[in-house]
Amino acid sequence: MMAPTVDHPFLKEGVAEARAYQLDAVRSALGAFTLLVLPTGLGKTPIAWMTAAERLRISEGWVLMVAPSNPLVNQHFNDAIEWLNIAEEDILTLTGSISPAKRTSLYGTARVIIATPQIIRNDVASGILSLSQCSLLIVDEAHHATGNHAAAQVGDLYCEAAANGLVLACTASPGSKEKQVEEVCDRLGIERIITRRNDDYLVKPYLQKMDITEIRIPPNEKITQMAEPLQQLLNNYVESLRRQGFLVTQHGVSMGALRQAQARISDAIDNGRSTAYTAARQNADAQRLMNLLYLLKGQSVGSALRHLERSDENAEADSTQGRFLAQPQIRALIGQLRVCEITHEKLAKVCSLVKKVINTGDDSRIIVFASWRDSVSEIESELQKIKGVNVEQFIGQSSRGGQKGMTQKQQISCLQRFREGHSNVLVATSVGEEGLDVPAADRVIFYEPVSSEIRTIQRRGRTARHRQGDVFVLVSEDTRDEGVRHASAAREKRMHYVISKVRRRRRAPRIHPYPDRFIESFIVDTAGEKMPAAEFLLAEEKRLQPELGSKGHTIGGLRTDGGEKPDVPRTKIIGKSPATNSALVRPKHQNSISDYLSSEQLDAPPTPPSTPSPTPPSTPSPTPPSTPSPTPPSTPSPTPQSKPAKWSNPVLNAAIEAAEDNVQSHIEDPGEGQNGEEGKV
């Protein structure tokens, strides 16, 4: 049976599948400045183009869509041609390759403009573009709209210029901090926040199954031995910084703690403290050592060697880099790495996971995400050895440390070859995380976890978009991977709570008395029978709404069947998972409940409640005169030699465990306790 489709004067026939949650979002978006938070793969783009179609119908103005990268701009341009029932020459895509002089003549001709926010910001600032006639601003990956990012600045400019404008901001992950979500809303003028979660009854029929597995990689003894001199050197720097009062940390050291120490050192230098210059060098070397140790123990031997050799080539231009590389421990490590034939277990595991999928079918697609370009090159080199694997890199445009980036044309061609099946494995950095629409990605592999819940959700969303997929996260034990993984999970769990809190606090827009009028031009075609979109929406809600009290029914976000509403997809863990010490993830100045109990309270047995025995009624009797009796000498009672056994109060123990679990689930960054970019080592 064919899926129902949506008809609209400005949509091409049969292109839009009718889904109730999408039409509901369009109805809401047409009535107020809206932030749309929807899981990846559920169709934020169809909602955007249906909203754009209606604005084009009712207004003489033009529609602007901004996206953070050139590949995304190109993808949205192709989608607009496929979706919108307007002439192709009325759809304009702009990138930095088009000169400002040429852009000036193009602006007056298009009804839909798709560009990076940097282009729009610069052209508005220079006066060659006015946003006053823009009837709709669509901001893709709207979580970028903070600080000095161009998307936020375009939001500021649009809210000032457009008298009768409208904003639709789309993202799968606006962030886990209230301040961040609030700023996105403020910069884009958001009045309404629309969210749909994976367990929403309108969404469930369209979700593809996604299995998430965490694979723990044990440390390699030989690599650990090679890293030992570097670890000792790092410990020396850390101890020196602590003695000088610049590094303040209780449990290990992290990059966040070193950055805080760097700020203290800068203040000391400003105040004329001469010894702070030595501390600055030590702190810089400590950060370099932490990165190098992670490359060695958490990425691969080849990644560490590539990093060191590239740094060695640039040492003449960077005296601080040359000083670091001249240390005997570093020179010795370079020599060892050049003759080392050890393959990191992560690389072997990636090859194994890729082989299993490639052997199942010719149309399989796999994306491997890695944060370091050195690791991307190393992974590509290993995968090229596997029969049937056609692997390509997908990296950013910037050139760093002698490594050239990809041009826009190369990026677009790479993605097109991947979609068409000419390549079946893509090894990508963060540039491939956002908006990459790969319909048949069967498997996504995280070469390392990332602490940002935004990046985690974006990476994971590259699979299970149109069919079942799975995700594997590789975690190197005894490295920052462990802390980063905990931080990401906690932040993702917190994100939905933060969105709800911000939505409740913001002033709600004025409710339209007849909201169905916003979608009266949308007609749903179900097997030849046509009905208004509002009528279809009601029918779908009635069909999919669970019965009250049944499994999955929710009221106000609470399950009526007593079950828990999951915040994040469940993750299966393979390999040893060490027990978490609650003291390590608790905020520094926060105590446990047990800290308030004295040792006597913990050792003393519980006192049972006394039950008064019934007293018979007293009968008054004559009282004889009292005669004092001799008092026998007191005999001390024998003292037991053994210490009384500790008692266990089940109620108190349960309260302690619940309180500490609550701390761990709500702490923003259990991996580090600072800014969450890396875990502790």
Domain ranges for the chain? 21-206+496-509, 212-216+344-478, 221-339
For the chain, give the number of residues.
681
**pLDDT tops 60 at residue 498:** yes
Name the nearest CA neighbour of 481 among 448, 527, 443, 510.
448
Q: Is the pTM of this model over 0.75?
A: no
pLDDT tens, 212-236? 788 999 988 999 999 999 999 999 9
Q: E-assigned strands of 183-283?
A: 192-195, 210-217
pLDDT for position 189: 93
Q: What tokens appear for 87 in the block?
A: 């002439």
**Cα–Cα distance measured from residue 404 to residue 116, given in angstroms and rounded to the nearest whole number:** 22
Mean predicted confidence (pLDDT) in 385-404:
82
pLDDT for position 438: 55
**Cα–Cα distance measured from residue 441 to residue 524, given in angstroms and rounded to the nearest whole number:** 30
- For residue 115, the cross-strand partners are 66, 94
- Whose tokens are 């911000």? That residue is 502
Mean predicted confidence (pLDDT) in 70-94:
91
Distance of CA 358 to the CA centre of its chain: 28
**Cα–Cα distance measured from residue 547 to residue 525, given in angstroms and rounded to the nearest whole number:** 27
Share of residues in the chain with pLDDT > 70 (%): 74
Spatial CB neighbours of 635, under 8 Å, sequence gap ≥ 6: none
For 557-574, b/e burial (b = at least 16 CB within 10 A) is eeeeeeeeeebbeeeeee
pLDDT tens, 340-388? 888 889 999 999 999 988 877 667 888 898 888 888 888 999 999 998 8
pLDDT tens, 435-493? 555 545 778 888 988 766 555 665 555 554 445 678 888 989 888 888 777 777 777 77
- Given a contact cutoff of 8 angstroms between Cβ atoms, the answer to whether 257 and 249 are in contact is yes
pLDDT for position 562: 40
CATH number of 221-339: 1.20.1320.20
**Cα–Cα distance measured from residue 512 to residue 208, given in angstroms and rounded to the nearest whole number:** 35
The mean pLDDT of the chain is 79
**pLDDT tops 60 at residue 131:** yes
**pLDDT tops 50 at residue 141:** yes
Q: E-assigned strands of 8-141?
A: 16-17, 34-37, 62-66, 91-94, 112-115, 134-140
Helices 44-58, 20-29: axis angle to 10 degrees equals: 50
Q: What tokens appear for 189 in the block?
A: 């003028």
* 3-state SS class at 243: helix
The model's confidence at residue 567, banded by pLDDT at 50, 70 and 90, is very low
**pLDDT tops 60 at residue 426:** yes
**Cα–Cα distance measured from residue 225 to residue 247, given in angstroms and rounded to the nearest whole number:** 27
Distance of CA 68 to the CA centre of its chain: 17
**Cα–Cα distance measured from residue 302 to residue 379, given in angstroms and rounded to the nearest whole number:** 10
Name the nearest CA neighbour of 279 among 313, 320, 241, 245.
241
- Equal CATH topology for 21-206+496-509 and 212-216+344-478: yes
User: Rounded to a whole number, what is the distance in angstroms from the first to the last CA of the chain?
Assistant: 56
CATH number of 212-216+344-478: 3.40.50.300
pLDDT for position 509: 73
**Cα–Cα distance measured from residue 90 to residue 52, given in angstroms and rounded to the nearest whole number:** 14
pLDDT tens, 5-33? 999 999 999 899 999 999 999 999 999 99
pLDDT for position 555: 37
Q: What tokens appear for 154 in the block?
A: 């375009």
pLDDT for position 500: 86
pLDDT for position 678: 41
Distance of CA 269 to the CA centre of its chain: 36
**Cα–Cα distance measured from residue 181 to residue 450, given in angstroms and rounded to the nearest whole number:** 20
- Given a contact cutoff of 8 angstroms between Cβ atoms, the answer to whether 172 and 197 are in contact is no
The model's confidence at residue 255, banded by pLDDT at 50, 70 and 90, is confident
Share of residues in the chain with pLDDT > 90 (%): 38
Q: What tokens appear for 471 in the block?
A: 């995700």
The region that residue 396 occupies, defined by phi over 0 for left and psi between -120 and 50 for alpha, beta otherwise, is beta
Name the nearest CA neighbour of 477 among 506, 449, 442.
449
* 3-state SS class at 148: coil
**Cα–Cα distance measured from residue 151 to residue 244, given in angstroms and rounded to the nearest whole number:** 42
CATH number of 21-206+496-509: 3.40.50.300
Mean predicted confidence (pLDDT) in 250-262:
85
